[in-house]
Every structure is written in structure tokens, then in C-alpha cells.
Amino acid sequence: METATVNTNFKSEEYFINMGPQHPATHGVLRLLLTIDGEVIKKVEPDLGYIHRSIEKMCERNSYQQIIHLTDRLDYLSSHINNEAVCLAVENALGVEIPERAKVVRTIIGELTRIASHCLWWGVLGMDVGALTTYFYGFRDREMINDIFEETCGARLTMNYSLPGGLMFDIHPNFISRVKAFITHFRSKLPEYDTLLTNNVIFQKRTKGVGVLSKEAAISYGASGPVGRASGYSCDVRKHHPYSALNKVTFKEILKTEGDTFARYQVRIEEMWESLSIIEQLIDNIPEGNFQVATDAVIKLPKGEFYQKVETARGELGVFIISTGTKNPYRLKFRSPGLSNLSLLNHIAVGGKVGDLVASMATLDLVIPDIDR
Amino acid sequence: MTNEALQYLIGDWFPEPEAVKLQFSTEGPQFLNVSIDPDQLLVLMRFLKNTPETDFDYLFCLTGVDWGKELGVIYHLESTTHRHILVVRVTTPDRETPTLDTVSDLWRTAEFHEREVFDFFGIRFNGHPNMKRLFLTEDYVGYPLRKDFSDEVNMIVK
């Protein structure tokens, strides 16, 4: 079947190759069918579904508390923010107001998650374009954040720290001092990222003017997060639809106009500085008091439809719940940033070289479970 | 634009609302909902996208739903200039060969999302450039997110 579809647009000088599922840039399980002429890409067709886990079907059969534990498996590098999305949707539907302390802690952990995710992205990006050192530097900084997470909630990757009504536990007594130590450390190390990669001439030559995405195309393809903002499209959910404690802090939305691979890179690097500043504004003023409010053991949402969007490290994650008033959702849809960002890959890759594709794809920051359903 | 203004404007586009089954609902806690006859879906969507006052250029969510008797799609639209949000709903009673018109020429993001709906609900989209399964294999039988789907081997039946 696959071969037949490819062959319809097949000229004698063109051939097609499979990229992935083992290529490091595809992070495991994404296969790209490339139609190429020499080294020039004519068409990219992603083949998804290698780790299809039917997460939406599972959500329909589980209670709202149980769903939280599934969502962090979606985008496992932004797991806390994924949890938060479902918690916020459920809390809004129930009309539950959670304590200020929980809101502030959620926001701090969310921004730490964003930095951790960007550190990993930066390390892997370097590796994708052939510089292994970045991998170790990125992981060194990410490790500190993971240690903070581990101390506070016992998990390093799949957090499950939020639950409808607030937080699972209170923060660890060391939390504030360790976060502050991390901020000091990371402020001194972030310039290293620029020295290693941003200012590297080879890297710049490989990324500037490559994989250009216009603002109109970004909106049409539903691009979000750093991918959309690199094209000048103001799409930061934290600005337009603030949630948790994000209306209490000031931060800049990073916008670039070039829309190329390098701009997408720059947005994430500058975003890390902004995240640091958000954490700094909150860390000294965590309100005292409760960290959760009691909710029913069996949560039943009122009848209706509830939509909640949050800004994960990759962009806009939407949770759409259709409830018929029972203890599990009638339908739950995840609008993930990954799928929309992947759908524009063909648009930005056509006409470029295979080597460029690796770099552009790395700046889309794909996480495969986030693309799958 | 406020929900009331949007409602008036859309009402003006369809002088005979009964004939096209145009219905508004603000019952949901969040957004203005519009439901429309599947035949008129494209007309409405083109108006929403191309009229400067509405300018819904961002389709941020496209959800397939199985309502039991009917299958349908819910479109979440936002305007990046006016920042207003509208929800369009369309249903089809045909469960054997459900078809709807594609909106992928208006919003490119619909290309993948409509394939997802086809994959899980079996709704075909007329005019879609590449109407095939997205996540599941080509030879997979059935549409797993339909309420009457069952898989004796892999599903735990409660």
C-alpha cells in the first residue's frame, strides 16, 4: 500500500528512503518516508503510530484521578504541565478554587519542567547535528532539576505531583534552597550554551535560513510554542490565557521574525532565561497555608464540555473533556503541540537537503508519545 | 467580538436558519457553540475564516465524537487578531459510510487531525488530499474510539 502511494508521484530520477525509526533525531519511533532527488527533498511523509497506546480510549474508561497518571506518559518531558492541564480542566468544571500555595508551587515546578525539557532538547540537538559535548552539558543541568523533583514528589520523570484540588504533598523542606542553588548555578552555565553552540559558526551556517516557516503558515498549521513564536506568531498560552500563578509574574514573550531553524533555537534559549526569572519572582513568596483542598473520592464532573489549554515546553496542549455527568469522561481529546508541529515538517523541508531536515526536525522538539494517541 | 455580536453576524449569513439547521448554544460554561447541517459546513467555515470581522485563522482543536446514534466533529476556532473563540459542531446520522467535507484547505492543521478522526471514527472527509489512517495500520479493522467498538483479544471489558 505504502509503496503504491509513493509511486504515484514518482519520477525516474527520484527515489525514496526511510529515515528512522532508529535515527536519533526521531527519538526512537518515528519513521519518515522521504522522496528525494539527489540530496534535495521532494516530499516528507511521516509514518506515525509505532507506539500507539490508545490513550484517549483509556481515559474514557478511567476516573479523573486515574487519568492524571496517564497524561504524564504523553509528553514525558513536560509531565508536570500535562498533569496540570487535566487538573485545571477538572477544577474549572467543578468550580473548585485551589489554595494560592498550590498555584504558586505548580507554576514553579512547571517552569522548572520547561527548563529541564529545554536542557534535554539542547543536548540532543547538538548531538543531532554532530556535537556530542552538548549532550553531557545539557544533562548535567537537567540532573539538578530532576533531583529537586525526586526529593519533592518521589519521581524524576513521570511526576504525578498535581491532583484535582491542589498538590499531592507539600514541598520538601529543602525545596526552596535547592531551587535557589539551581538558579545560581544555571545563570552561570547558560552563557556556556551560547559559547558552545549558539555562537558556533558551523552551527549557524547549518541553521540560518534553513527550514523557514512564515507566520501565516505557522498559524494555518496550528504551530504553537517556540515553533510558532520563532515565526513571529504570538501564541504563548501563559500570556493569552494565564493559568495557576502566571498572572502574578512579569515575563517577556520571546518572539522572532526569521522563522528559520536558528530562530527556533534562539527562542528556546532565551525562554530559559525568562523561566528562571519567573521562578525567581515566585520562590521567595510561596504563600503559607494548605496545599490542597479536599475533593470527593469519586469525582463526577457536571454535564457539559470543558476545554483547558496550557503551555507545555513544546507548545499549546489542550484538554477537551465531554462529560455526561458520570465518573469518567464521555470523550477526552488531547490537542497536543507535537502533532501540529510535526504536520508542518513537509512544508518546511521541501526543497532543502537531507542534512537540513535533521536540524530542522531537532528544533521542532518532537516527543513521540506527544504525537501519538 | 462578543458572543452576541458573533451570533448576530452568523445569523445574517444564513437567512433561513431552520433550512440549514443552524443552532446556537451558550449553555456550555465556556464558548459560544454553533451547530450546522453538514451540507452547509464549508459555507459557514469559509465565512468564518475569510470575513475580516470574524477572522478565525487558528483551528486549535478538531475532535471526533461518537454521540451514540450520530457521529460528529467539533471544531474549536480562535482568531489570532481579535482573540475570540467559537466552537462549531457538525453531526452525521450515517454510521455506515459517514462523510463530511474537509476544511484542510482553509486550515492546514486539519489535514492530520481529519486523518486522526478517520482513523478512530471512520468519518471520511471529502476533498482531503491524503485520506488514510494516521496511527493505525492500513489493514486494521474497525474504528476504536466508536462506542460500539469491541476487541475481545486486547480490551479488558468491565
Helix H segments across chain A? 2-7, 55-60, 64-71, 79-94, 100-128, 133-153, 175-193, 201-207, 215-220, 225-229, 237-240, 261-283, 337-343, 345-349, 354-364, 368-371
- The alpha carbons of chain A give a radius of gyration, in whole angstroms, of 21
Instruction: Give the tens place of pLDDT for each residue, A248-299.
Output: 999 999 999 999 999 999 999 999 999 999 999 999 989 999 999 988 888 9
User: Are A318 and B65 a contacting pair at CB < 8 A?
Assistant: no
Cβ-based neighbour number of residue A103 at 10 Å: 22
The one-character DSSP state at A171 is P
Residue B135 forms contact with A (CB below 8 Å): yes
Give the residue on A whose Cα is nearest the Cα of B145: A57
pLDDT at A218 over 70: yes
Q: What is the pLDDT of residue B153?
A: 82
Which chain A residues touch B135 with a CB distance below 8 Å?
A: 48-49, 52, 372-373
pLDDT at B59 over 90: yes
Instruction: Give the tens place of pLDDT for each residue, B6-48.
Output: 888 998 898 888 888 888 887 656 789 999 999 999 999 999 9
- pLDDT, average across residues A91-112: 94
Residues 6+ apart with CB under 8 A from B94: B71
Residue A81: HSE in the Cβ half-sphere, 13 Å Cα cutoff: 31
Count of residues making up chain B: 158
Q: Give percent of chain B above pLDDT 70.
A: 97
User: What total of structural domains would you count in chain A?
Assistant: 1
Distance from CA of A331 to the nearest CA of B (A): 7
pLDDT at A364 over 70: yes
Closest alpha carbon to A57 in A257, A361, A331: A331
pLDDT at A310 over 50: yes
User: Are B74 and A217 a contacting pair at CB < 8 A?
Assistant: no
- For residue A173, is it within any domain? yes
User: Are B76 and A318 a contacting pair at CB < 8 A?
Assistant: yes
Average pLDDT across chain A, whole number:
90
Instruction: Give the tens place of pLDDT for each residue, A134-191.
Output: 999 999 999 999 999 999 989 888 888 999 999 999 999 999 999 999 999 999 999 9
Q: What is the pLDDT of residue A4?
A: 47
Residue with cell 506527544: A370
d(CA A311, CA A197): 26
Q: What is the pLDDT of residue B158?
A: 60
Q: What is the pLDDT of residue A190?
A: 93
Residue A304 lies in domain: 54-371
Q: Give percent of chain A above pLDDT 90.
A: 72
The one-character DSSP state at B32 is E
- pLDDT, average across residues B55-78: 93
Instruction: Give the tens place of pLDDT for each residue, B93-150.
Output: 999 999 999 999 999 999 999 999 999 999 999 999 999 999 998 899 999 999 998 8
CA distances from B129 to A107, B101, B104, B111, B117 (A): 42, 12, 8, 8, 15
Nearest to B63 among A1, A304, A333 (CB): A333
Residue with cell 533525531: A25
Q: What is the pLDDT of residue B23?
A: 85
- For residue A33, is it within any domain? no
Confidence label for A318 from pLDDT (cuts 50, 70 and 90): very high
Q: What is the pTM of this model?
A: 0.92
Confidence label for A50 from pLDDT (cuts 50, 70 and 90): confident
* DSSP result, B58-94: EEEEEEEEE-SS-EEEEEEEE-TTT--EEEEEEEE--
- For residue A43, is it within any domain? no
Q: Classify residue A371 by burial, with Cβ atoms within 10 Å: 0-12, 13-18, 19+.
A: buried
Residue-wise burial string across A303-324, b where 16 or more C-beta atoms lie within 10 A, e elsewhere? eebbbbbbbbbbbbbbbbbbbe
- For residue A281, is it within any domain? yes
pLDDT at A366 over 90: no
Which CATH fold topology does B3-126 show? Beta Polymerase; domain 2 (3.30.460)
Phi, psi angle pair for A130, to nearest 5°: 100, 20
Q: Please report, for the domain that includes residue A155, its CATH number.
A: 1.10.645.10
Confidence label for A2 from pLDDT (cuts 50, 70 and 90): very low
d(CA A194, CA A265): 11
User: Are B135 and A331 a contacting pair at CB < 8 A?
Assistant: no
Residue A193: HSE in the Cβ half-sphere, 13 Å Cα cutoff: 27
Average pLDDT across chain B, whole number:
90
Residue B28 forms contact with A (CB below 8 Å): yes
User: Are B135 and A318 a contacting pair at CB < 8 A?
Assistant: no
Q: What is the pLDDT of residue B28?
A: 59
- pLDDT, average across residues B59-63: 93
Q: What is the pLDDT of residue A372?
A: 85
pLDDT at B61 over 80: yes
Instruction: Give the tens place of pLDDT for each residue, A3-31.
Output: 445 455 566 778 888 887 766 556 668 88
Test mutation, B45, B108, B117, B157, chain A, max A CBs within 10 A: B108
pLDDT at B156 over 60: yes
Q: Give percent of chain B above pLDDT 90.
A: 66
